[in-house]
Amino acid sequence: MLALWGLLYAVELGALDGPLASTLQKARFAVLVLAPPLWLVFTLQYTGRVGWLTRGFLALLFAVPAATLALIATNGEHELVWITEGAREAGPGTGAMVLPGFEYGPWFWIDFSYGALLVLAGAALLVLMLRNSQWLYARQSACLLLGFVGPWAAHAAYATGLDTGLRALPNLDPAVLAFVPAGLALAWGIHRHKLLDLSPVAHDTVVEGMSDGTLVLDKRGRIVDLNPSACRILDCKAVDVVGEGFREVLSRQGKAAPLSGNRGTALLERYEKQGQANEEIRLGEGTEARHYDLALSALHDGRGNRTGTLVVLHEVTERKLDVERLDKLAHYDALTGLPNRALFYERLSQEIARSRRTQGVGKELLAVMFLDLDRFKMINDTLGHEVGDLLLKETARRLKESVREYDVVARLAGDEFTVILPEVESRRAATDVARRIVEAIAAPFNLQGNELLISTSVGVCFYPTDGHDPTTLVKNADSAMYRAKAGGKNRYEVYAEDVLQNPTKHFELENELNRAIEENRFVLHYQPEIKISSGRMSGAEALVRWEHPERGLLHPEDFAPVAEETGLIFSIERWVLREACRQMRSWQERYPTEQALTVSVNISGRHFMHPNLSGVVRGVLEETGLPPRASSWR
């Protein structure tokens, strides 16, 4: 608008007197009349106060200018706006340029005062913007103030005569000369501060109001501008971080992981090559941690040169939690919170791969256990599924307490659980864990007022001796578990192939049996015998078990064939006979009023054929003091 005024003034000066000069003078005055209200409209829009620009407000705003324009058009009839005095020389007696001369009429001062108020109002809005905005938009406001208020102030000084002593020519409006610095200020603002690219209105409504954290960085990675959301996310104040390096700001707050190390280097390399890059980052720790999608986008000038970087931090915490919840549903048991079948096989595959890579480096073993609860179906059917669920949850807790923190306890289905023991020092260490599990489950369960006595059967196998893949290992651990059940339950069993088909293992087992007999590694378990007619116990059956140092508690199926073949069965059964009779005599002495109990001992077919069996039995009975009627042989 002021540029148009300057152009009209220049043409007017060239036209001098005559109809053309008069017309140009009117046009120039019309521009001056419209400039202040248009300036105020612009500053209201620029500063985001568009709510003021209603039809009623605009009508009032342009009422005085509209009246002034009407008076300008008819000024020759009343001269309320200006009074023409004719032409004057620029310098008396010099023959220099002749300028049109006039005096202002009374309405001019009314319009001038009104315009001055509008200009000052617009300038005040820009000053507020200059004080409260980020540095980029403050400098935009300063450029606008110089570009408009400067020439208008020069014209005001000319109209009021304040510049009389400073005029180069008597009737020359100095606003023309003020256009030079004003134009330079605007040109600088357009080039340096992108005056025409983004106004604070757009910044306030688009950037300031965004929930995403938004930062503008210069070519050196220093923060030029950031919105309130970025301040909230980074826990900082804009005035403290503008001019700082973005990476330094993160580092100072202990949140530099996203842009440091290999991840940060890779992110910045992608950005340099492609002009944009994304990375999911986490800010904060524990329950206060928040997840964000960090997006870097290059900013370019009109010639395509990269001038800076736009950084956007979009929060994805809820999405991250949703993904984690879906992952938990897919990989964890909803009842116990333990890994499910899918995750168990995945973890077992990983441990097998790790063991395969480190095989030969150390002596650590990988053990796999399979277990279930004895008589769980009966409890579930008798006491209800609610109690059954509580039993499973408590079992899961006890299992986790029985192993190391990095061991894996999983629930496959129903009452079936599995355990992965990576990096165990020996087979004995694994069987010690199995023993702890058996003892932990054997402790009473108190569930909804019910005290339950439960037992478990555990099968143990090892990689790579018992299998090279997850399926085989689980199958063999399951097989060992069923052997534990067959041996009396509430025990563990280590998987073993049929030693009779392997001469080497046959010889090893024979040597181990000899050491077991010498070191007295056998124990007896007693199975009660109940009379159906009375419901009372009439006796017990003695069941021999071998406490193997590595394979755990073995039942006769695991060693009897070799013992019979080698003749070691005689020594074992003599020990069983002696120990069973001694224990039964002890019970009879402890409970003398009880009905006389009998003990049954299993004798192998080969031992029955031994000619001295009766002598052995007689000697044991005499040694222990047990009446012959209190014993039986099977």
The CATH code of the domain that includes 361 is 3.30.70.270
pLDDT of 98 higher than 50: no
Helix axes 106-132, 150-160, angle to 10 degrees: 150
Give yes or no: residues 237 and 108 share one domain.
no
User: Are 107 and 114 contacting, i.e. CB atoms less than 8 angstroms apart?
Assistant: no
Tell me the average pLDDT of the chain.
77
- Give the global pTM: 0.44
Give yes or no: residues 399 and 460 share one domain.
yes
pLDDT of 11 higher than 70: no
pLDDT of 458 higher than 70: yes
Distances (CA, A) of 21 to 25, 29, 79, 87: 6, 12, 16, 11
Give yes or no: residues 385 and 402 share one domain.
yes
Strands 631-633 and 598-601: parallel
pLDDT of 578 higher than 80: yes
> Could you please report the per-residue DSSP string of 22-78?
HHHHHHHHHHHHHHHHHHHHHHHHHTT-GGG--HHHHHHHTHHHHHHHHHHHTHHHH
Amino acid of residue 424: V
Question: How many angstroms separate the CA atoms of 421 and 438, rounded?
Answer: 16
Residue 199 lies in a domain: no
Expressed as residue numbers, the domain containing 102 is 2-192
From 432-436, 454-458, 489-493, the region with the lowest mean pLDDT: 489-493
Per-residue pLDDT reduced to its tens digit, 189-239: 555 544 444 444 445 544 566 778 888 888 888 888 888 888 888 888 887
Question: How many angstroms separate the CA atoms of 330 and 326, rounded?
Answer: 6
Quote the number of domains for the chain: 4
Give yes or no: residues 108 and 188 share one domain.
yes
Give yes or no: residues 179 and 66 share one domain.
yes
Give yes or no: residues 361 and 312 share one domain.
no
Q: HSE-up of 470 (CA within 13 Å, CB side)?
A: 16
Domain final residue, candidates 480, 495, 510: 495
Give yes or no: residues 90 and 159 share one domain.
yes
